[in-house]
């Protein structure tokens, strides 16, 4: 059966917007963002054009890892509101046509979770093997330690019960043991609960960690992922799992489900993201082009999720040390911008020095890359980071609504930056009034991206441009074609593209007014301004351009 009922595979050209309720909007004046505040801003999000909200963890938590340390999977952190507020938010989001997914953090719990308290209460506790215990843990491989600034082992000795427990992340986050069928059932129950309240799926935290290092080892760890997907589909067709799987392509494709596409629906393209940064640092299309050429096609009904920045550090762990150094030198030269020896705790606009033309190019590139774009709140207005906040919190600062901040009437949960990225310089209200703002640019990119589904799921070909700084590709689907080109450097370049099969076609620019014609031998000359971006729809001479797009069915 051929695909393309766009609403069935809605996630394939969704625009996913990640936000933390805690830092988005305070609705009750206590300095902490909450569901009431978020609900007030749903129209802003709908107006921006995003189609799916990804909520970072909003569950009860001691908050030692910004909510990724959960003490109750079936409730709301009281600082953020009540289940009632959550349901009102869901109702409003659905009324405005927005889907919602949430972080599913079930690799571990907080050590304050009642399950762990019970588990550690004694070796004969009925919940003992809900977690992973050992008398003689394997010696650590330093690469296993995810947060080397705080931990030097993934095992912690528990005095009370005399064994070590596994914690892939911080020691206060003991790993749940999905080797235990009761734990697997409980995870399904959590999914079922939130889907019943309207969620369309989950962003699954730390997927490889979740299915590995469990006791007993699962005969086929991937079967568990397939089971979860099957469960979700039975409950709610069209629900998705968006996986955090930071692995080389050859290992990552297994998480889609070995050609069957029955496990993780969408995986983040961490390799493409890291190579994109290398390309930007060098003003050289090569690294990104090679990622796109190497990248396996996901199985039918699966999709790549594209991003440049997220809520964590900009991890560069899949690049060589020399490549990392190049990126540090270009985008985060001072030590306090760097973290864990492998990443940067900065947002994109500040990394690009606030250069609006370059920032616009970077996001144009993101939206045009084959896959589903995922953006982090505040990117649409070009928010910077606050390096005074600890570690990764530097990028998780309050949303900047107006000149005076506008996030809360009270002292905010985290501080906004000072200087050129402070709210009086970077905020929603000003950019709404300014037709040349980054916010307006995002709206345009989102509109165009949604109108060009072939960009999201078409067959793509990376094109030779004859100029190292210009990256171009074409996406073809159902007889329609879009060609895009981005100039990574700050000088104008003329490029020549060979477009087989588009001889004598007319290319209409989708971002500015203008057309350009393909010659009889299929060549098009494309002038590219400094950090220029072109999105061009191809139409045969006899068809008016507006009729040539792939129509949503």
In the region spanning residues 111 to 150, those forming contacts with ligand BGC, defined by CB under 6 A, are: none
Question: 34, 66, 205, 379: which one is catalytic?
Answer: 205
For ligand BGC, the closer of residues 307 and 407 by Cβ is 307
8 carries an active-site annotation: no
Is residue 312 a contact residue for ligand BGC (CB under 6 A)? yes
For ligand BGC, the closer of residues 25 and 108 by Cβ is 108
- Long-range interactions of 433-440: CB distance < 8 A, separation 24+: 437/381, 438/349, 438/356, 438/359, 438/360, 438/363, 438/380, 438/381, 438/382, 439/48, 439/380, 439/381
Alpha helices (runs of H) in 298-387, residue ranges in sequence order: 321-331, 348-351, 356-368
- 314 sits in which H/E element: strand 314-315
Residue in 85, 129, 205, 323 binding ligand BGC, rule: CB under 6 A: 205
For ligand BGC, the closer of residues 244 and 454 by Cβ is 244
Q: Are 345 and 391 in contact (CB under 8 A)?
A: yes
Q: How far is the CB of 206 from ligand BGC (least distance, A)?
A: 5
For ligand BGC, the closer of residues 358 and 392 by Cβ is 392
For ligand BGC, the closer of residues 311 and 467 by Cβ is 311
For ligand BGC, the closer of residues 312 and 496 by Cβ is 312
For residues 163 to 182, the per-residue mask of contacts with ligand BGC, x marking binding by CB under 6 A and - elsewhere, is: ------x-------------
Bridge partners of 119?
A: none
Q: What is the largest CA-CA distance in the chain?
A: 79
Q: Are 158 and 60 in contact (CB under 8 A)?
A: no
For ligand BGC, the closer of residues 89 and 169 by Cβ is 169
Is residue 245 a contact residue for ligand BGC (CB under 6 A)? no
- 460 sits in which H/E element: strand 459-463
∠ CA(115), CA(33), CA(267), 5° rounding? 65
Can you tell me the distance from the alpha carbon of 25 to that of 11, in angstroms, rounded to the nearest whole number?
26
Q: How far is the CB of 68 from ligand BGC (least distance, A)?
A: 3
Is residue 206 a contact residue for ligand BGC (CB under 6 A)? yes
Instruction: Count the site residues for ligand BGC by CB under 6 A.
Output: 8
Q: How far is the CB of 440 from ligand BGC (least distance, A)?
A: 30
In the region spanning residues 10 to 39, those forming contacts with ligand BGC, defined by CB under 6 A, are: none
Can you tell me the distance from the alpha carbon of 264 to that of 254, in angstroms, rounded to the nearest whole number?
9
Can you tell me the distance from the alpha carbon of 17 to that of 230, in angstroms, rounded to the nearest whole number?
26
SS3 string of 268-292? ECHHHHHHHHHHHHHCCCHHHHHHH
Give the CA count within 13 Å in the CB-facing half-sphere of 461. 14
For ligand BGC, the closer of residues 245 and 469 by Cβ is 245
Q: How far is the CB of 64 from ligand BGC (least distance, A)?
A: 10
Minimal CB distance residue for ligand BGC: 68
Strands 155-158 and 266-268: what pairing? unpaired
**Number of residues in the chain:** 553
205 carries an active-site annotation: yes
Residue in 85, 244, 301, 476 binding ligand BGC, rule: CB under 6 A: 244
Can you tell me the distance from the alpha carbon of 485 to that of 94, in angstroms, rounded to the nearest whole number?
35
How would DSSP label each residue in 44-59? HHHHHT--EEEEPP-S
Question: 22, 85, 244, 476: which one is catalytic?
Answer: 244
Closest CA to 65 of 305, 393, 285: 393
Strands 343-344 and 314-315: what pairing? antiparallel
Closest CA to 104 of 188, 213, 220: 188
Is residue 105 a contact residue for ligand BGC (CB under 6 A)? yes
Alpha helices (runs of H) in 206-320, residue ranges in sequence order: 207-211, 221-235, 249-256, 270-282, 286-294
Residue in 11, 24, 54, 68 binding ligand BGC, rule: CB under 6 A: 68
For ligand BGC, the closer of residues 205 and 262 by Cβ is 205
Q: How far is the CB of 150 from ligand BGC (least distance, A)?
A: 11
Q: Which residues contact 48 (CB under 8 A, 6 or more apart)?
A: 17, 380, 439, 442, 443, 446
Q: How far is the CB of 274 from ligand BGC (least distance, A)?
A: 16
Distance of CA 197 to the CA centre of its chain: 23
Is residue 212 a contact residue for ligand BGC (CB under 6 A)? no
Can you tell me the distance from the alpha carbon of 124 to that of 136, in angstroms, rounded to the nearest whole number?
18
For ligand BGC, the closer of residues 100 and 204 by Cβ is 204
Q: Which residues contact 425 (CB under 8 A, 6 or more apart)?
A: none
Q: How far is the CB of 100 from ligand BGC (least distance, A)?
A: 18
For residues 45 to 64, the per-residue mask of contacts with ligand BGC, x marking binding by CB under 6 A and - elsewhere, is: --------------------
Q: Which residues are catalytic?
A: 205, 244
Question: Contact residues for ligand BGC (CB under 6 A)?
Answer: 65, 68, 105, 169, 205-206, 244, 312
């Amino acid at each position: 059966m051929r695909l393309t009922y766009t609403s069935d595979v809605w996630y394939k050209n969704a625009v996913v917007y990640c936000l933390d309720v805690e830092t988005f909007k305070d609705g009750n004046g206590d300095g902490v963002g909450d569901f009431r505040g978020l609900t007030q801003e749903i129209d802003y999000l709908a107006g921006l054009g995003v189609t799916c909200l990804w909520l970072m963890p909003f569950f009860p938590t001691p908050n030692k890892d910004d909510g990724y340390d959960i003490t109750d999977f079936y409730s709301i952190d009281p600082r953020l509101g009540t289940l009632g507020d959550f349901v009102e938010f869901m109702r409003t989001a659905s009324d405005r046509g927005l889907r919602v997914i949430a972080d599913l953090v079930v690799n571990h719990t907080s050590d304050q979770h009642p399950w762990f308290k019970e588990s550690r209460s004694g070796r004969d506790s009925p919940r003992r093997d809900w977690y992973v215990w050992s008398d003689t843990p394997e010696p650590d491989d330093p690469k296993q330690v995810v947060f080397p600034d705080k931990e030097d082992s993934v095992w912690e000795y528990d005095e009370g019960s005399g064994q070590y427990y596994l914690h892939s992340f911080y020691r206060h986050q003991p790993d749940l043991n999905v080797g235990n069928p009761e734990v697997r059932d409980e995870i399904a129950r959590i999914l079922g609960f939130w889907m019943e309240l309207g969620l369309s799926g989950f962003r699954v935290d730390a997927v490889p960690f979740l299915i590995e290092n469990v006791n007993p080892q699962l005969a086929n760890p991937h079967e568990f992922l397939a089971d979860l997907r099957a469960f979700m589909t039975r409950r709610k067709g069209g629900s998705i799992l968006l996986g955090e799987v930071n692995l080389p392509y050859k290992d990552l494709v297994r998480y889609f489900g070995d050609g069957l596409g029955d496990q993780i629906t969408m995986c983040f393209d961490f390799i493409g993201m890291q190579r994109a940064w290398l390309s930007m640092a060098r003003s050289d299309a090569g690294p990104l082009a090679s990622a796109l050429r190497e990248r396996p096609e996901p199985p039918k009904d699966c999709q790549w999720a594209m991003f440049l920045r997220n809520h964590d550090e900009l991890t560069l762990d899949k690049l060589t040390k020399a490549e990392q150094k190049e990126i540090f030198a270009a985008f985060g030269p001072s030590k306090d911008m760097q973290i864990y020896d492998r990443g940067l705790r900065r947002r994109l606009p500040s990394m690009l020095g606030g250069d609006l033309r370059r920032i616009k190019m970077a996001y144009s590139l993101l939206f045009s890359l084959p896959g589903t774009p995922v953006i982090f709140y505040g990117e649409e207005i070009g928010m910077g980071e606050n390096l005074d906040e600890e570690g990764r919190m530097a990028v998780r600062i309050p949303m900047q609504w107006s000149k005076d901040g506008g996030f809360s009437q009270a002292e905010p949960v985290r501080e906004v930056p000072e200087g050129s990225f402070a709210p009086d310089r970077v905020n929603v209200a000003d950019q709404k009034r300014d037709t040349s703002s980054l916010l307006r640019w995002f709206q345009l990119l989102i509109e165009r991206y949604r109108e060009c589904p072939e960009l999201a799921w078409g067959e793509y070909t990376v094109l030779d441009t004859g100029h190292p700084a210009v990256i171009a590709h074409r996406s073809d689907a159902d007889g329609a074609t879009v060609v895009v080109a981005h100039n990574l450097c700050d000088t104008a370049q003329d490029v020549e593209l060979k477009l087989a099969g588009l001889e004598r076609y007319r290319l209409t620019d989708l971002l500015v007014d203008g057309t350009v014609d393909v010659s009889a031998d299929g060549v098009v000359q494309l002038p590219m301004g400094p950090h220029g971006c072109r999105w061009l729809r191809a139409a045969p001479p006899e068809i008016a351009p507006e009729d040539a797009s792939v129509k949503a069915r």
